Amino acid sequence: MHSHQIPRPYQREESPHFPPAPEPLPVPVYDNHTHFDMPSSGSGVDAVVALKDALDAAEAAGVAGAVQVGCDLPSSRFAVAAVDADPRLLGAVAIHPNDAPELAAAGLLEAALEEIDALAAHPRIRAIGETGLDYFRTGAEGVADQHYSFRRHIEIAKSRSLALQIHDRDAHADVVATLHAEGAPERVVFHCFSGDAELAKICNENGWYMSFAGTVTFKNAQNLRDALAVADPALLLVETDAPYLTPHPHRGRPNASYVMPYTLRSMASLLGRDVADLAVQINANTHAVYGSWG
């Protein structure tokens, strides 16, 4: 069960490939969705350093810790190994919606879901995710398997009283309908929130959390800024989804947890709020969802 390698993250502050370290946040926050196990594309020989170094770099930037998120069995096993390796990590485990159809076709989805449920028993695994629906990368032939897998993850989250981290790509209406049909877990997070003001209002009404990623800083993402403007501040979270979605002005470089202050500062400026004030709020929201890191 724990045969997966101890975390070998990709982040290296001094590499010219990565964004420069931002000015540290005045109040520490947590990156509530990241993938320390995924090597950044093209990062080459200098990319791999110890997990401790990656978290040290994050901490120096005012990112106190993170939620390491699984997408399949190897990365979910990795999440369990990672939370045992460093107290600055909590974890989430799941089969990604883009992985569910292939596992189902091979007759392996049930066994995978059973293992996810078993991994979720670890006391530092605090969420089931990322699960949900992705109509962008998976075509119509995979929809039924995605829906089945999503429903099973909802069940696991509820039976273990864990938060649910949702991956929703081009599937807002069906994600919302599924949550209503199944009965949503007590704590639901739309990871890398990709909706507009209308979806944000639905989240407000249902008490679902909206986790903003670097995408909110992208020039072409006015819909996300509109959503942020109407989102209930008590439901705001922030994440990197590293190594993806590096915030402006460092798009094109690999992302890492220490880069998150660029996104948080951008959110504060869009909301017309003091950075420290927003950080305090998001920190409280993060703890309300995942509990304590300590």
Q: In this structure, what token pair is assigned to residue 257?
A: 């947890």
* Beta carbons of 218 and 241 less than 8 angstroms apart: no
* Beta carbons of 227 and 195 less than 8 angstroms apart: yes
Residue 23 C-beta: closest distance to Zn ion, Å:
26
Contact region with Zn ion (CB under 5 A), list: 126-134, 208-216, 222-230, 274-282: 126-134
**Residue 241, interface with Zn ion (CB under 5 A)?**
yes
Q: Which 3 state secondary structure label does DSSP give 129?
A: strand
**Residue 31, interface with Zn ion (CB under 5 A)?**
no
Contact region with Zn ion (CB under 5 A), list: 7-15, 76-84, 157-165, 241-249: 241-249
**Residue 72, interface with Zn ion (CB under 5 A)?**
no
For residue 150, what are the CA distances in angstroms to 16, 76, 124? 39, 16, 22
Is the Cβ of residue 67 or residue 202 nearer to Zn ion in the bound state? 67
Greatest alpha-carbon pair distance for the chain in Å reads 52
Q: In this structure, what token pair is assigned to residue 77?
A: 């096993």
What is the torsional sign of CA 128, 129, 134, 137? negative
Rule CB under 5 A: choose which of 13, 31, 130, 174 binds Zn ion. Answer: 130
**Residue 239, interface with Zn ion (CB under 5 A)?**
no
Contact region with Zn ion (CB under 5 A), list: 105-113, 128-136, 170-178, 200-208: 128-136
Binding interface with Zn ion (CB under 5 A): 130, 167, 241
